[in-house]
Amino acid sequence: MRRLASASIASGKPEKIAQILEDEIRSGRLAHGAQLQSENELVRRFAVSRSTIRKGLSELSRRGLITTSVGIGSFVTFDGNVVADEAGWTEALEKAGANAVTRTLRLEIISDPSLAETLGLESAEFIALDRARTNADDGHAISIEHSRIPMIPEIENLPVRGLRDGSLHATLREAGLFPDHGEEWIDVVALNAEDAAILSCEPGTMFLRTRRVIRTREGQVMEHITSLLNPSHFALHREF
């Protein structure tokens, strides 16, 4: 399908997106019963935010042209604001209103055969990036994240040169890795002694845990991340 420049839908974006897709449906370019492109694909195609795409799809649904399944999506929120992390966790938390200070705890090459087996990878080498986030005003715990990026030549010197502009998202994009889809598991765990010490919490404090596997469009694993989130700020929001 034709890629449109963002300027062509600068005003009334959701309505224009809905109209373009409606034209494709009614013209037969999208066959009856065919599945639309994924949200990620539509975000790239129209060069707009995910929320704009969703508004456009809602308009198509209102017109009776598409249907959506129960379980449309789950979102992590910070103080009630959705953490939209397409541009990276740091920027997402900033937009959600978190006054966070980020501290890098670890950036090095490791071997983790167990994780490689879980992810179906031949190589057990990963870049390990651990970061803790605390409130800038009083230092209370916000989160701790353990990222594992499968080793590829484009990032093998990352521990030496560091992150681009302090952003893992920007660093991976520079290496040609772009997130497209993935899986996420969410549960509640007690902080172990090591993580509790980093976050200045008591061991056993209950935190929300998210575990993500993020893949490229081709299905390549680009990141496995475990995040421990302070439940006084974070919650799971589900739309259905």
> CB of 145 within 8 A of CB of 163?
no
Residue 68, in any domain of the structure: no
Q: Are residues 115 and 180 in the same domain?
A: yes
pLDDT at 2: 43
pLDDT in tens, 135-148: 988 889 999 999 99
- Provide the domain limits for residue 98: 75-239
Identify the domain boundary among 34, 62, 90. 62
CA distances from residue 16 to 9, 29, 53, 63 in whole angstroms, order as listed? 6, 17, 10, 14
If one counts the domains in the chain, the total is: 2
Mean local confidence (pLDDT), 156-181:
89
- Reported as a pLDDT band with limits 50, 70 and 90, residue 5 is very low
Mean local confidence (pLDDT), 195-202:
92
Indicate the Cα dihedral angle 78, 80, 84, 88, nearest 10°: -10
Higher pLDDT, 8 or 115: 115
Q: Are residues 114 and 202 in the same domain?
A: yes
pLDDT in tens, 57-114: 888 877 777 765 544 456 778 777 777 666 567 777 777 778 889 999 999 999 999 9
Residue 69, in any domain of the structure: no
Q: Are residues 49 and 152 in the same domain?
A: no
pTM, two decimal places: 0.68
Higher pLDDT, 35 or 155: 155
> CB of 119 within 8 A of CB of 88?
no
pLDDT at 113: 97
Query: For residue 23, how many other CB atoms are within 10 A of its CB?
Result: 11
Residue 235, in any domain of the structure: yes
